[in-house]
Amino acid sequence: MSFETFADFLAMGKHGLYVWLCYGVAVLVIAGNVLALRRQRRRFFREAAALQKRREADSA
């Protein structure tokens, strides 16, 4: 461990803002990639199911 206290860890010397900004944005970007895919996948299944229902109704 290269920090004495948790406060030191958060402060990162005098670079806390820079370091945590980078990691924070990285987490957001990675999560954004994953969540966007999940949302699109759900939407596909929702829309495909609706389409199939409509087709069944049309053919009946």
Partner 1 sequence: MPLKTLWHRMGSPRWMYQMSGSWVWVLGVMATVLLIVGSLWGLAFAPADYQQGNSFRIIYIHVPTAIVSQSTYMLLGAAGLVLLVWRMKVADMVLATAVPFGMSMTALALFTGAVWGKPTWGTWWVWDARTTSMLVLLFLYFGLYALRQAIPRQETAGRACAVLALVGVINIPIIKYSVDWWLTLHQPATFKLTEAPAMPPEMWLPLAVNVLGIYCLLGAVLLAALRLEILRRERDTQWVRELVAAR
- Give residues in contact with partner 1 (CB under 8 A): 1-3, 9, 12-15, 18-19, 21-23, 25-26, 29-30, 32-34, 36-37, 40-41, 44-45, 48-49, 52
Minimal distance in Å, beta carbon 42 to partner 1? 10
Q: Nearest 5°: CA angle at 22, between 18 and 12?
A: 40
Is 22 or 58 the residue whose CB approaches partner 1 more closely?
Answer: 22
5: left (phi over 0), alpha (psi -120 to 50) or beta: beta
| Separation of alpha carbons 53 and 43, rounded Å | 15
Minimal distance in Å, beta carbon 38 to partner 1? 8
